[in-house]
Each structure stands twice: as structure tokens, then as C-alpha cells.
Structure 1
Amino acid sequence: MDNQLEEKITDVDFIKKLIPQKDPFVMIDKLLHFDTEKVISGLKVTSDNILTSDQFFTEGGLIENMAQSIALHRGYRGYINRGKDEKPKTGFIGSIKHATIYTLPKIGTELITTVEIIAEIMQVSLVKIEVKDTNGNLIASSEMKTIIVDA
């Protein structure tokens, strides 16, 4: 599908309105692409991120970045379909399969996370995720199943 964004969304305050996570636990800061079957998010890894350690973004940070990218897809879809003031839905990771961390990105790295929706049934999403840097180097990948608990 074609990108439904007129332009990339880089307003962090707006991004925070689309996901249920709050500071200091926000692991995305850009919406780069949106369509019904895919979302691409961005994150600049900074030294003040609570999921950094020894100058690197941690494994937990990468997994959370993936999960929040899924939440961003649902949040933006809700924003354009149901209303600008709707609260983002809360969910959780139901399962993670084939998770591979190829390298830990250094502070200062710009992450580009692509989520492809494989299947969506009611409040459950099955997705394939890749995290790359701006040079296209694969940093991490996985499949996740997420479940929305707010109906």
C-alpha cells in the first residue's frame, strides 16, 4: 500500500499522544510511514534514554521499540479513523518469536523500525518487525503477537 502520511511526523509530543507509554519509557520519536498493513517508526538513541547502558541501546530497549512501533500503528489508525481526542489503547506483548539482536546500536544511532501486519483478528495482531539503522544495517528482527486489553 501507499504511504497515507502527507509528510513524516516528527513532533514527539504528538507521537506520545498516539501510544499508551509515557516518559521516560517512550522508545519511538517519529512516524515515517503509515498504511493499513505497515508502519515505520524512528528513534534517535540518546544518552538520557533509560534503556541505554555503557553507551549502547539495550536488548530490552530494542524489544520495547518494536512493541511501541506496533502501538503506534494502532494509535495512528485510531487517530485518523475515530477521533483526534481518543485515548490510545493499552496492550501487551502476547508472544515473541524468532527474536534476533544482531548488534546493539550506539548512542546517537537513528533507528528505523518497520512493522508489517501479518494478521489481525479482533484485538490480536501478529506482526513481523525489522529494526535497521539509517545505512540499512539490520540491527534486530522478530515476530510478535500483541493483544489490546482496552476494548
Structure 2
Amino acid sequence: MKDRAINPSPAAIPPIEQLVPHAAPMILLDRVLNVDAETLRAEVKIRPDSLFHEGDGVGSWVGIEYMAQAIAAYAGYQSRLLGQSAKIGFLLGSRRYECAQPVFATGSTLHVTVQLLLKADNGLGSFACTITDQQSQQQLAQATVSVFEPHDASQFLEGSME
């Protein structure tokens, strides 16, 4: 994997819409800041019109979805390097999602970093994830997230429905 593009220039990173298999308004991240063979860092700005915004911000429970979408963007970028499009994946769960605050405050800019820990041939993967406040550089949340990317999502979904 080390032969893949390392730290492409920001101009070479496609828009987030091309990296995740989601459509608006379910795309929660704003953009990918940098990516390499094992790590991706994305950005999300908490605005009054952010999905799940209530009162003073977005509940920190949404952080696990920010992490999952950053993992999806990582997988989508890696697929693009192979000339493929973004594929459907599944969030299996997390170990010890810990967050230092109950709400991501309106006006804050978060950096979501995901680092590949394990990728098995059967599509199972594990990532170390963090959410950091861009201004203060304080780590706000962390988790180890498990995901599954089937080789053929349609076939997998049809088989699981029987």
C-alpha cells in the first residue's frame, strides 16, 4: 500500500460528494483536508443549518457518524486510486466512543482523523478515530471504529434478506 499517492495537494483531493456514497443532506463532512495510504483528515463546520443541530450545536453523539463518514471518504479515495467509484460500507460498531463534551458548539470547526488499523481481505476494517477542535487543538472525541465493505454490496444485501 505504500506505493499509493502520499499527501496529495488539496487541489488533487476530490470534493467529499465524490468520495462518499451518500447524497445531500446526509453528507455531514465539508471536505477532506489530507489523505495518504493509511490516514485521512476531514473537516466539518458546525453551523445552525448543520444536520442534527439543536440549540447550541450538534450533539456529540453525532461524532461517531462523522468518524464513519471520514472512513467512507478514506475508502472512496482509495477506490478512486484504483479507478473505481465509492462503494457502500457498513458501520459495525465502535469501542469506547469517548467525548469530552455533550455538544459540538455552533461556530466550531472540527477535524476528524481516521487511521487504518486493520483491513482484512473479507472487507472487515478497523480505524482509530479522533475529533479535534481546529482552533484550540483540543481532542474532543476518540474511538476505535469497526466497518465492513462487502466486495458486492448488492449481492450481500440480497443474501442477508433471505
- Normalised-by-shorter TM-score class: 0.7 to 0.9
Q: 1:9 to 1:66 in 2, by over 3 A?
A: farther
TM-score by length of 2: 0.82
Aligned counterpart, 1:96: 94
Aligned counterpart, 2:160: none
Residue 9 of structure 1 and its aligned partner are, at CA, apart by 6.7
Greater shift after overlay, 48-57 or 132-141?
48-57
TM-score by length of 1: 0.87
Distance 2:49 2:24 in 1: 11
Unaligned runs of 5+ residues in structure 1 are none
Unaligned runs of 5+ residues in structure 2 are 153-162
Greater shift after overlay, 106-115 or 57-66?
57-66
Distance 1:27 1:6 in 2: 22
Residue 8 of structure 1 and its aligned partner are, at CA, apart by 5.8
SS in 2 for 1:105: strand
**Aligned residue type for 1:76:** Y
- Write the mapping of 1:1-150 to structure 2, written as runs, cut at 5 A: 3-7=6-10, 14-83=15-84, 86=85, 88-103=86-101, 104-122=103-121, 123-134=123-134, 135-149=136-150
| Superposed structure 1 runs of 4+ greater than 6 Å apart | none
Work out the percentage of aligned pairs sharing the same amino acid.
19
Q: CA offsets, 1:52-75, max 9 Å, x none? A: 111211133211100000000000
Cα RMSD (Å): 2.0
